[in-house]
């Protein structure tokens, strides 16, 4: 029996991270946030003054950092060359540049290999979330989910999260524009664009509660595992 792999893809703000972690916790599986790995790579490029708009420079430099992704659903960790970067990778500088770094084929090749390695060592199986989990990284996944939500629902959720953190309205508007730009870049790039795999189950979360989404996915996994 092959280990369970649950591949969850979708645009930013679809609820992917929350849903993926919760499904992993409920089913006792490991959890892999592949966006964090692209962010960690971007953080290292910025820290080492690599021009992230120079694809050739990024392609050469991306072999250097040692990126280690913890896969505990309760508290995933990410380190670069031994340094915990969980905080800085969520900052505006990394967020603004990550799509450019993630579009470089050599970056993707390197991180895909690490991602597949994480799945191989996950004892009970893994929930992996990103943009190309079902389409590229885990073509034989047990269950593939493509999570979407209307643009209004996605923007509304993001704004509510930010408001809860005390972020001001002007920043919220600017971040909404940044999110739209990032989704457009991720969907239109040449290598592994955000796309629904032919055999993925589409789950539109606009009108569903978090619990409903988690239950839907957990049931699919239990049926097929
Ligand atoms: O999921 P998150 O928003 O943290 O991902 C950050 C960025 O990493 C995305 O905007 C995308 O450019 C890139 N990414 C990717 N492939 C993945 C996961 C993330 O290209 N599997």
Cα–Cα distance measured from residue 49 to residue 91, given in angstroms and rounded to the nearest whole number: 17
Distance CA 133, CA 193 (A): 11
12, 33, 35, 115, best to mutate for ligand 1 pocket (most atoms within 8 Å of CB): 35
So what's the pLDDT on residue 180?
Answer: 87
| 134 in a labelled binding site | no
Residue 92 domain-assigned? yes
Residue 192, in any domain of the structure: yes
pLDDT at 1: 63
Please name which of 6, 3, 12, 1 lies closest in space to residue 186, comparing C-alpha atoms: 12
CATH number, residue 68: 3.40.50.300
Task: Determine the Cα–Cα distance for residues 160 and 151; give it in Å rounded to an integer.
Answer: 14
> Is 159 within the bounds of a domain?
yes
Stated pTM of the model: 0.94
Is position 162 within any domain?
Answer: yes
Is 136 part of any domain? yes
pLDDT for 70 equals 94
Q: What are phi and psi of 196, to 5 degrees?
A: -80, 125
Closest CA to 100 of 63, 59, 134: 59
Rounded to an integer, what distance in angstroms lies between the CA atom of residue 52 and that of residue 61? 10
What is the rounded distance in angstroms from the CA atom of residue 3 to the CA atom of residue 141? 9
Number of helices and strands in the chain (H, E): 8, 8
> HSE on the CB side for 187, CA within 13 Å?
11
Residue 114 has a pLDDT of 97
Strand locations in the chain (E): 4-9, 30-33, 67-69, 78-80, 83-84, 125-130, 143-148, 201-204
Predicted confidence at residue 147, as pLDDT, reads: 96
Give residue 1 CA to ligand 1 midpoint distance, Å.
Answer: 30
Give the chain's residues under pLDDT 50.
Answer: none
Residue pair 73/127 in contact by the 8 Å Cβ criterion: yes
Say if residue 17 carries a ligand binding annotation: yes
Domain count along the chain: 1
Does residue 225 form part of some domain? no
CA distance 7 to 157: 23
- pLDDT tens for each residue of 103-141: 999 999 999 999 999 999 998 999 999 999 999 999 999
Alpha helices in 72-134 (DSSP H): 92-102, 105-121
Angle at 159 between CA 155 and CA 160, to 5 degrees: 120
Q: Regarding beta strands 4-9 and 201-204, do their DSSP bridges make them parallel or antiparallel, or are they unpaired? A: unpaired
Domain membership flag for residue 224: no
- At 67 the three-state DSSP class reads strand
What is the domain extent for residue 157?
A: 4-219
In-domain check, residue 139 = yes
Q: Which residues line ligand 1 (CB under 6 A)?
A: 12, 34-35, 38-39, 98-99, 102, 130-132, 182, 186
């Amino acid at each position: 029996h092959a280990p369970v792999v649950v591949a969850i893809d979708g645009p930013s703000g679809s609820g992917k991270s929350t849903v993926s972690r919760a499904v992993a916790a409920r089913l006792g599986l490991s959890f892999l946030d592949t966006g964090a790995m692209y962010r960690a790579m971007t953080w290292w490029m910025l820290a080492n003054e690599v021009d992230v708009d120079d694809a050739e420079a990024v392609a050469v430099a991306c072999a250097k950092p040692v990126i280690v992704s913890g896969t505990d659903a309760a508290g995933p960790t990410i380190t670069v060359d031994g340094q915990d970067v969980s905080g800085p990778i969520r900052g505006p500088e990394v967020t603004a540049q990550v799509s450019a770094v993630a579009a470089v084929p050599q970056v993707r090749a390197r991180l895909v290999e690490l991602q597949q390695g994480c799945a191989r060592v996950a004892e009970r199986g893994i929930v992996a979330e990103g943009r190309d989990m079902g389409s590229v990284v885990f073509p034989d996944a047990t269950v593939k989910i493509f999570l979407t939500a209307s643009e209004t629902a996605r923007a509304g959720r993001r704004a509510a999260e930010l408001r809860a953190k005390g972020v001001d309205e002007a920043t919220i508007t600017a971040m909404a524009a940044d999110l739209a730009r990032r989704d457009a870049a991720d969907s239109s790039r040449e290598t592994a664009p955000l796309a629904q795999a032919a055999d993925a189950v589409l789950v539109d979360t606009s009108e569903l509660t978090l619990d409903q989404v988690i239950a839907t996915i957990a049931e699919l996994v239990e049926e097929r595992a």
